[in-house]
Every structure is written in C-alpha cells, then in structure tokens.
Structure 1
Amino acid sequence: METENLDERYRDLDNLFLRDSKFAPELFAPNDALKTILFDAAKVLVIGAGGLGCEILKDLALSGFRDITVIDMDTIDVTNLNRQFLFRKKDVGKHKSEVAAAFIEERCSGVKVTAHTNMIQDFDADFYREFHVIIAGLDNIEARRWLNALLHSMVEFDDDGKPDIATVKPLIDGGTEGFRGQARLIMPHMSGCFECTLSSLPKQNSYPMCTIAETPRLPEHCIQHAYVIQWPEHFKDKKVDKDSPDDMNWIFERAKERAESYNIEGVTYFLTMGVVKNIIPAIASTNALVSAACVNEALKVATFCNKSVDNYFMFMGQTSVYTSTFPFEKDENCLVCASQRESQTVAGSKLLKEFRDELQEKFTLSNPGLTAESTNKTLYISGPLGKKTKQNLELSMAQLVESGFLDKQDIIQVTDKAIPTVMKVYVKIE
C-alpha cells in the first residue's frame, strides 16, 4: 500500500526517471530503480530553516526526498511569520528547525525530518559524511565559508592527484537579497568554491562615526547612534540582545527621538531591526524561486536524471526578470581549493605584521595564526600563547629567515576561526 501511495504521490517523477532525454548525462539510463534510490537511500542535509530554508524543506519533501536533516539554532520571532510559512503565531519562541521538521512530517506522511539546534561547527566531519548532498540556505558569510572549507578538507585524492568522487560532498548554496537571488552547485575541488567568489559579495553597509555623532542625514544614522553610542552609555555592561523586542524597542524609541530633533523622517521599528541586525528585506517570491533552483539541483545530483547546472545560477528581479547561468571559475590562489599555487614573492624587508595584515584583508580573516611548514615553528598565534610570538610581528621576513623561523621558499600555514582547516600560502622571500 505504501509503495502504491508513493507511486501516486510522486508520479510526475516518472517523466524524469522513465524517459530518455538529450539533457541527461551519458551515464543516465531510464530506470524505475531511481525512485527507490531517492525514497530509501538519498540523505540530504539542509542548513538553515529561515525564509529560504522553509521553502527548501517543503520542496524536498514534495520532490521525493524522504530522509532529511535540518540544522538551525535560531528561534522563531513574530516578524518571521510573513514569509516563513511553516511557522504560526503559537510557535514564536520555539526553535525553527524543530517546528519546521514537525510541520513537514505532519503534512507529508513517510518523510522523516531530523532537527538539530546546534551550531554547524558543533558537528564533525563524520556527521557531514553521512549525507549525499548538502543545501545551505544561510545568510551568514562566516558560516558559509566554514562549511565550504570543511567539505573541501574531507576530499581524498588518488595517486594521480584527482579527487576521489566518493569523498566529494556536493554543496548547493542558495542566497537571496531582496529581489535578487542565486543558487550555485559547488563540487569540492572540482569547481569554483565559495571562497573563490568571496570578493564578489557586496560589502555590508557602514556609516562614518562622525556623521552618526554630529550630522545625521538619514534614518539609518539615527538608529546607529542609538545602537552604537546611546546604548553603551545607558547599559555599560549589557550587550544588545538583537532577538529581544524590549532591547530593539529601546533602540527604536531613542532613534525616533533623535530623528525628530533633526527633522529626519523614516525611522520605523522594522528599519531599526534591519540596521541593527543587518537585515536585507526578504521577498517571499524570491525565496520560492531560489529554493526551487536549489532542490532541482539536489534532485539531479541524487539521481543523475539531468545535467547539473554549471555552476552558478543568478536571478535578478529588481526592475524586470532576468536570469543567467555561468561557470564561476576557480581562483588559482584560493586558500581553500587551489591545488597548485604559484609562490608569491615577498620582500625581505616586509614585516611579518604587514604580511599578516595583507593576508587578513585579502582573504577576509579575523585573527589569523601563522606557522612555517618547513621548520614547524609558530610565527604568530593569538590567545595565551600570543605573548611568546608577538615580538615576531615586528621582525622582517628576512630576519625570520636568518633566525631559522622560515626558509627562503616556504609554505606558511594559516589558521583562523573563519576556516575549519589549515590553509597554505606559498611564499618566496627576496
């Protein structure tokens, strides 16, 4: 009976699985067993259960995926309800992943959704190896970088230096920004990765402190003043809880008062949340479109019923409807996926501090530690051990070579909280 119900529920899949197609890859052969693989074997991990994640979970369940895991540590706020349709008013305050999982299981019988409320960094590589495909619906760049780097670190290589396909975990990364969105398929060490495209991401809005403090002209300036200046003055030892309506309302009221004194209009509670939490307005239709693109790729990766996207799909809907698909090329100097890097020439007179600052800016790192691979000596590390290596920052690269810390041609291993593995920078000291 269950098999009959599944066949009826997912009968549209027969159009993909039982018919030959010129769009399918060469290894595809029409086969009814593909449904069995999809129903009983495919395991998919969804990271994020917000506006994009809710749509992804729904699309997966309706597309035949029956073993789904979702990770999201956030709780539901009343402001989520206008677009995150798996949640109701009674769910406010509960974990998104748990409510979303229960909703999907109730509406789609036979679909199992396992929910986790941890950070993604709490899970080790063995956990991620369980899944056939991973879909990220994250709005956090740091988390996306971490996930991308981890999946690349899990890849093993054969004697010819080629990735072992059995160890490659496809990552489908979706993102939306107002009326714009993108879906990309990242095959670790086989395509360009998230780190390769980091420079293409828009910069977050920032406002000069002098303008915020002295000459506000925009409602955002007033909100930032209340958040950055007034809050610390009134609550010296308390950080703003961005999920607290009381804290957000306090900032909103102070911002509104300042705006009125400067005859500035436009300060609202929702704009206050957007500025403080760096929220970009979410459009439900964009979420729906991008999630469909993500799940479409997941279905193709799991069953080979069609050729996968190569490898970046972009949707632009601000003034009209425009889409484009193109291959995002690998960056040959990418910290994460570059297999062969040319040694960068570093002047011997350059201080280690200057070299580290350049790495920090170029690769968007927070507080990188540096170790010379040839000597296995720590050049710099933060934290309690930082006192022992802090003096190295004032040494030139030539002095580090003379003192035996570095070789003239060396590999500097880089560690940072933004990346879960050791990255390598090839240097030639002149």
Structure 2
Amino acid sequence: MDTIDVSNLNRQFLFRASDVGKYKAEVAAAFVEKRVKGVKITPYCGKIQDKDDDYYMQFNIVVCGLDSVEARRWINATLVGLVDPEIVDSLKPLVDGGTEGFKGQAKVILPTITSCIECQLDMHAPRAAVPLCTLATIPRQPQHCIEWAHIIAWEEERKDITLDTDDPEHITWLYQKALARAQEFNIPGVTYSMTQGVVKNIIPAIASTNAIVAAACCNEAFKIATGTNPFLGNPESNNYMMYSGDDSIYTYTFEHQKKDDCPVCGNLAKEVEVDGNRTLQEFVESLAERPEAQLKKPTIRTEEKSLYYQSPPSLEKQTRPNLKKKLNELVSDGEEIAVSDPAFQIDFKFKLVFKK
C-alpha cells in the first residue's frame, strides 16, 4: 500500500523523482516489465491479509521483502496452514529477506518441514518499550521526548485529528512539541529526522545491502524453480544466510533448527517460567516484550475457562477483573494456556511453570 517518498530514492533502483507519490508496487512492476521483455507482473496495492487461501495456492514460490515482523508471521502461518500431505503442490517454499543498515539475511522455509519464521522469532528482538511514567515525568533521552509528543501530547491536544505519520505538518507539530520538552529537561539531540524515525519506527536502509540481499533471495528462488543447484533449506543443507557489512564484508550460513514447541509448525506447548505472584495484567504486558511471543493485544484462555479477552467489549468487561488477580489464583503450575492476537491467525500454546 506504500507510495513513493523522496527518502526512498537513495536506497533502491526502481524509482525516480517523477514517481514520488505513486504506488511502489505499480511503479516497480512497470519498471521491470519495461526492462525485461516477456515478464508479466501483476501489482496489487493492499494488505496481504486481504487475500484468501485460494489466492496463495495459485503460486509456486512466495518471496517476502516485508518491512514488518507481524506481516512475516502472518504469511508464514498462512503457508504452513495451506500444507496438505495429500496434495504435493500445497507446499509453497517461502524465500524471505530483510536488511537493517549494513546487515541483512536471506532464508528459505519449507513449511512444516524446516524451521519457520515463528521458530526464528527470538532472533527478531522486539522494540524496547518505554514506561508511560518515564515519558510523562522523567524523560532521559531525546527519544523519550518524541514518544511523549507522539503518545501523550497528541492525545491531549489533537485527539480529534487522526495522526498521519506521512503528513509533514503532523511530523513538524510533533517535532516542535518534542523539542520544547527536551529543552525543558536539558536534553539535546531532538531533530526533525529523529522525530520522523521514532514515530514511523524507521530502520536505516542502505542501497548496497538491499541489493546484496535482494540478489540472494532471487538466487534462491531461481534455484528452487529450476533445480540447477541445491537451495538453502533443502534437507541436506543450511537454511539461513547472514550478511554483515559493518566491518569489511562477511557472510555465513547455518541451520536454524525446527522447534517442537513452535506455535505454528510444532506440536508442543512452549514452556515459560513465570512468577506465580505476578498479576495477569503484568503477564499480559510481558507478552509484548518476550522475544518468543511479541504479542500486542493478547487474549488468554485455558481449556476450562477464559482468563482475559481483548474483544468484543462485553467479554473484555466480563474478564477484566481477572487482570488484578495473581497467576497462581487463575492457573495451576504446569497448566497450558492458549494465547491469540488479532494480528495473527494462530493460537500460541504456553505451559506456565511457576518459579520456585
């Protein structure tokens, strides 16, 4: 759904200044079709979640260049769910690539056979959360001042206006608010570009890294399609390639093991050690920070009862009192719970083990 911004022009090869404001998918498709005769590309401008299973069943290979872990997890769960042991063509190899600054990775996933995105989730560290009390009372970093403007000041002063992070006027307002707060607390470093980066969670991108990882992904797709060489993830090879350009150029491959307790492709509940005296509220909040979970709006239940539902409002109100109760009042030691999040189409199974 992205449109081309001026800031996109320095880190890729498909867009030109005249393309600013147009849909990335449409411009990229037209560029490649013009350059490579005979290629047919159908661009779509919309959410991948809007497509049904039949849409994904028509393809032989899926290549991801997604900029969000949530979207990766969704397509991964979808492709795992498509696999039918009786239908060979239901297994769709997933080629995934990503970059951050001078670092990048490429991997091949054979759904239900090799390690999947969810098995590897703890390699994608969640963004550190800053307590609201820190933002509201004692900011220590320029980022805290920006988050304060983003989360608190906007809600207090402009709550009737939906924040558009692509609107320069909105970003300028946040920048000015953050700068004033930083000056109040003698915190240097707040800039317009930093404000934009924090609010939009922008990850630095470098054209050379993008080109290397894109080439690696295309190479893997070519090998899968033609069988000319063993591909990453085939039963006798490594399935994960890491690239680092921070200090010279270095790449290596390794085998990321499939996890039996993976909530998508495994069949066991993941064991999680918790303090039984902590409240359900604290546990719910911790699910956003846990590398193996990273859930923002979890709904939690056991086999026998519902512990907390985020929606609909009637169920949320009914289960809200449980948030103040201790975990050992709601579940027994070693009991399994199911956790779901509207961003994904899977239930996460956790086995809660109380600390001794």
Normalising by the smaller structure, the TM-score range is 0.7 to 0.9
SS at match of 2:42: strand
Aligned to 1:183: 106
The amino acid across from 2:70 in the alignment is E
Match of 1:241 among 164, 173, 178: 164
1:366 maps to: 296
Name which of structure 1's ranges 98-107 and 263-272 shifts more when overlaid on structure 2. 263-272
Counterpart selection for 2:4 from 76, 80, 84: 76
What CA deviation, in whole Å up to 9, does each residue of 1:56-77 have, x standing for no partner?
xxxxxxxxxxxxxxxxx11111
In structure 1, the residue matched to 2:242 is: 314
Counterpart among 174, 180, 194 of residue 251 in structure 1: 174
**Counterpart in 2 of 1:417?**
342
The separation in 1 between residues aligned to 2:338 and 2:28, in whole angstroms, is 41
Structure 2 residue matching 1:128: 3-state secondary structure: helix
Secondary structure at 1:116's aligned position in 2? coil
TM-score, normalization: structure 1? 0.68
* Distance in 2, Cα, partners of 1:221 & 1:146: 30
Superposed displacement of residue 306, structure 1: 0.6
| Contact 1:150 1:421 survives alignment (8 Å) | no
Give the whole-Å Cα distance in 2 for the aligned partners of 1:365 and 1:269.
Answer: 30
Q: Post-superposition shift, 1:320?
A: 2.3
> For this pair of structures, how many residues does the alignment match?
345
How far the C-alpha of 1:131 sits from its partner, in A, is 0.8
Q: Following the alignment from structure 1 to structure 2, what is the Cα–Cα distance between the partners of residues 88 and 337?
A: 42
C-alpha change, 1:388 and 1:100, in structure 2 (3 Å) is: same
Name 2:25's counterpart in structure 1.
Answer: 97
- Between the aligned partners of 1:153 and 1:147, the Cα distance in structure 2 is 10
Q: 1:332 to 1:262 in 2, by over 3 A?
A: same
Unmatched tracts of structure 1, length 5 or more: 1-72, 159-163
Aligned pairs (5 A) from 1:258-297: 258-259=181-182, 265-297=188-220
Partner Cα separation in structure 2 for residue 343 and residue 426 of structure 1: 5
Match of 1:144 among 58, 63, 72: 72
Out of 145-154 and 341-350, give the one that drifted further.
Answer: 341-350
**Quick one: structure 1 residues 134 and 229, their matched pair in 2 at CA, closer, same or farther if it must change by over 3 Å?**
same
Tell whether the 8 Å contact from 1:145 to 1:418 is kept in structure 2 after alignment. no
2:116 partner SS: coil
State the alpha-carbon separation in 1 of the partners of residues 335 and 184 from structure 2: 60
Partner of 1:63: none
The offset of 1:351, in angstroms, is 8.5
Correspondence list, 1:313-392, <5 A: 313-340=241-268, 361=290, 363-370=293-300, 380-381=308-309, 382-386=311-315, 387-388=317-318
Q: Kindly indicate whether the alpha-carbon contact (under 8 Å) linking 2:126 and 2:294 is maintained by their aligned counterparts in 1.
A: no
- Is the alpha carbon distance of 1:339 and 1:209 closer, same or farther for their aligned partners in structure 2, counting shifts above 3 Å? closer
Alpha-carbon distance change, 114 to 210 in structure 1, aligned in 2, over 3 angstroms: same
Alpha carbons of 1:229 and 1:347: their partners in 2 closer, same or farther (altered >3 Å)? closer
- Secondary structure of the residue that 1:174 maps to in structure 2? strand
Quickly say closer, same or farther: Cα 1:149–1:385, change in 2 above 3 A.
farther
Give deviations 1:173-211, integer Å, cap 9, x for gaps: 111010000001111111111111111213324445566
Aligned-pair CA distance for 1:100: 1.2
Measured in 2, the distance between the counterparts of 1:266 and 1:348 equals 42
Alpha-carbon distance change, 210 to 410 in structure 1, aligned in 2, over 3 angstroms: closer
**C-alpha separation between the residues in 1 aligned to 2:282 and 2:186?**
45
Q: What is the letter of the counterpart of residue 363 of structure 1?
A: A
Q: Residues 101-120 of structure 1: matches in 2 within 5 Å?
A: 101-120=29-48
Give secondary structure in 1 for the equivalent of 2:107. strand
- Gaps of at least 5 residues in structure 2 are 233-237
In the TM superposition, what is the alpha-carbon distance from 1:232 to its structure 2 partner? 3.1
In the other structure, the counterpart of 1:170 is 93
Q: What amino acid sits opposite 1:419 in the alignment?
A: F
Q: Which residue of 2 aligns with 1:8?
A: none
The TM-score, its normalising length taken from structure 2, stands at 0.81
In the alignment, what sits opposite 1:62? none
Describe the SS at the equivalent of 1:114: coil
Backbone CA RMSD of aligned residues: 3.7
Q: Tell me the percent identity.
A: 48
Contact 2:171 2:195 survives alignment (8 Å) = yes
